[in-house]
Amino acid sequence: MVEINRMGVIGAGQMGSGIAQLAALNGVDVWLHDSDVEALTRARNSISKNIERQVSKGHLTQDVAHNALRRLRCTCNLEDFGSVDLVVEAIVESEDVKKNLFVQLDKIVEGSAILASNTSSISITRLASATTRPSQVIGMHFMNPPPVMKLVEIIRGADTSDDTYQATRCLAERFGKTVICSNDYPGFIVNRILMPMINEAFYTLYTGVASKEDIDTGMKLGTNHPMGPLELADFIGLDVCLSIMKVLHIGLGDSRYAPCPLLVQYVDAGRLGRKRGIGVYDYNTEQKETKS
Ligand code: NAI
């Protein structure tokens, strides 16, 4: 079984930066890549700030923090990934873009390396088919935010080997996560159940059943969820939610998974949620508690 000591993370957005932070704090050497240099700068700053905050609260020693930051290297050059044991990609939720990246990575990383995807819903079997190593391709789906959430959902593609599964599972457990394993069907376990609920919340708003605040309060206090579904959608990113609904709709071939027109319209308008300052809620004018 491959032991993972050097890891590559691709995509320095909300998920990739959190995964890189988690890896660096757990003794793994990490290369973090993004095609956008500003995203890399933002990610490094946010990781440093998060780690410093943990030191000031007494949760980490200065030494541990210093070593973690030393383990993290940022790069715009994919060629730097030549010696990593595992790469996890957390780029945009698009099958074509992810496949294209896997084709490039397949040529760059060593033959023994594992290619993992943090995809929320896209078929691991189809991503694997773009490579010459389908037995070493796997889904490693962290929850948002990765340093805080306790779960990693591992998805085995049609050809994922037991060795690849065990090495990925060991890595997630080294990060202190509880692992669940899903077969490769649209949305896997978590988003197969969560996204239709979020989509239904959009339909509830769209058809005028209630205000966004009452929908969120209803689900928070009525079902004991820590966040309401619309607030959660803003936190995940409305573009990510829409991409997942499209995968469910096409992959399961059932009209009940059709994305709500209001969700589509918000994404068309660039209202992508917290990361853009506006989604269902406007974070520039409305006072909402920060969750991350
Ligand atoms: P994000 O929009 O915050 O970050 C994506 C990053 O990828 C951006 O910095 C962008 O510049 C970069 N990027 C895009 N294409 C690239 C390419 N070809 N090469 C290098 N960098 C590229 O997105 P987020 O929310 O971090 O999501 C990333 C992935 O994680 C998606 O597949 C999403 O479905 C999945 N995911 C998202 C969760 C969430 O709550 N947002 C939860 C679990 C998984």
Residue of 50, 120, 121, 123 marked catalytic:
120
Q: pTM above the 0.90 mark?
A: yes
Query: What confidence tens digit (pLDDT) does each residue in 93-107 have?
Result: 999 999 999 999 999
Among this protein's residues, is 135 annotated catalytic?
Answer: no
Nearest Cα to Cα of residue 235 among 264, 203, 277: 277
Q: How far is CA 102 from the centre of its chain?
A: 17
The answer, yes or no, to whether the previous bond of 259 is cis (omega within 30 of 0) is no
Written as one string, the DSSP assignment of 103-137 is HHHHHHS-TT-EEEE--SSS-HHHHHTTSS-GGGE
CA distance 135 to 141: 18
Q: Is 90 in the pocket of ligand 1 (CB under 6 A)?
A: yes
CB 175 within 8 A of CB 152: yes
pLDDT at 2: 74
Q: Is 16 in the pocket of ligand 1 (CB under 6 A)?
A: yes
State the distance from the centre of ligand 1 to the C-alpha of 102, rounded, in angstroms: 15
pLDDT-derived band at 213 (thresholds 50, 70, 90) equals very high
Among this protein's residues, is 56 annotated catalytic?
Answer: no
Written as one string, the DSSP assignment of 166-235 is HHHHHHHHHTT-EEEEEESSTTTTHHHHHHHHHHHHHHHHHTTSS-HHHHHHHHHHHH--SS-HHHHHHH
Backbone angles phi, psi at 88, to 5 degrees: -115, 125
List Cβ neighbours of 67 (8 Å cut-off, separation of 6 or more). Answer: none
Letter string b/e over residues 113-139, b meaning 16 or more CB atoms within 10 A of that residue's CB: bbbbbbbbbbbbbebbebbebbbbbbb
Cα angle value 57/174/46 (rounded, 5°): 40
Query: What confidence tens digit (pLDDT) does each residue in 3-56 have?
Result: 899 999 999 999 999 999 999 999 999 999 999 999 999 999 999 999 999 999
pLDDT at 286: 60
